[in-house]
């Protein structure tokens, strides 16, 4: 049996497999799906890939360590879920932190005076190229004009809730909250706070994974 014990450093790394052929199966407004015939470990296999634009998530904490959540309908699961403000990286060339600031304003009516990168993650790397950057936003203040009404349907009505960070962790661990942006972002914020916020990165920290996906054609750049 081939040795399956890893002896190198532990960390994700770029390793594009050879694509023998590729066909588009669906091209949508937000994402697309393609089927690749790819060579993996001496086998030629077909894999469907959802090409996603990527996204940002904002864990907004007030001075009392309460996290801001918005209640929003998610049609694929036919549920109303509580999530942090978030949005797609659908403006080509726009820095991720600028997108995050815009989405925080549009979904909650708040701005932040301090921004940091909290954590990066893949939403579903077995089938999707979606890469998500989670920002920590603090020193919050309400926009004088309130939340700009820029959305429709799911985004037309977004009730806000403020939940203490510790209580939000309890809601996640009990299964009450299940959105991946809430689970990853809130647990990361709790871990970072427990470490005195020493793990935070600058708001403009390099995002090498995003650069890799762009180079490899794994980012949906719109119509």
Ranges of CATH 3.90.79.10 domains, the chain: 55-200
pLDDT tens for the chain, 223 residues: list them. Answer: 578 899 899 999 999 999 999 999 999 888 999 999 999 888 999 999 999 999 999 999 999 999 999 999 999 999 999 999 999 998 888 999 999 999 999 999 999 999 999 999 999 999 999 999 999 999 999 998 876 676 667 777 788 999 999 999 999 999 999 999 999 999 999 999 999 999 999 999 999 999 999 999 999 986 6
Whether 130 is catalytic is no
Give how far the C-alpha of residue 204 lies from the chain's centroid of Cα atoms, to the nearest Å. 16
Enter the DSSP assignment of 153.
Answer: G
- Arch. (CATH architecture) of 55-200: Alpha-Beta Complex (3.90)
CA geometry: angle 123, 83, 196, nearest 5 deg: 85
**Lookup: tokens for 3:** 């040795």
Task: Read off the pTM.
Answer: 0.93
The CA distance from 56 to 116, in Å, is: 12
The CA distance from 134 to 57, in Å, is: 5
Q: List the catalytic residue out of 46, 155, 198, 208.
A: 155
């Amino acid at each position: 049996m081939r040795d399956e014990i890893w002896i190198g450093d532990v960390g994700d790394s770029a390793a594009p497999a050879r694509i023998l052929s590729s066909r588009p199966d669906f091209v949508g407004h937000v994402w697309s799906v393609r089927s690749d015939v790819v060579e993996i470990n001496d086998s030629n296999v077909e894999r469907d890939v959802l090409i996603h634009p990527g996204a940002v998530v904002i864990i907004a904490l007030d001075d009392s360590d309460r996290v801001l959540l918005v209640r929003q309908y998610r049609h694929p699961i036919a549920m109303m879920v509580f999530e942090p403000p978030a949005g797609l990286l659908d403006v080509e060339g726009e820095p991720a932190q600028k997108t995050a600031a815009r989405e925080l304003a549009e979904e909650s009516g708040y701005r932040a005076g301090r921004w940091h990168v909290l954590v990066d993650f893949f939403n579903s790397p077995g089938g999707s190229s979606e890469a998500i950057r989670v920002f920590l936003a603090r020193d919050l203040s309400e926009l004088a004009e309130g939340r700009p009404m820029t959305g429709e349907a799911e985004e037309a009505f977004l009730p806000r809730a403020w939940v203490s960070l510790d209580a939000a962790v309890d809601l996640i661990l009990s299964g009450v909250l299940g959105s991946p942006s809430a689970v990853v972002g809130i647990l990361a914020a709790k871990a970072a706070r427990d470490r005195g916020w020493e793990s935070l990165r600058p708001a403009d920290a390099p995002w090498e994974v995003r650069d890799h996906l762009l180079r490899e054609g794994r980012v949906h750049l719109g119509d």
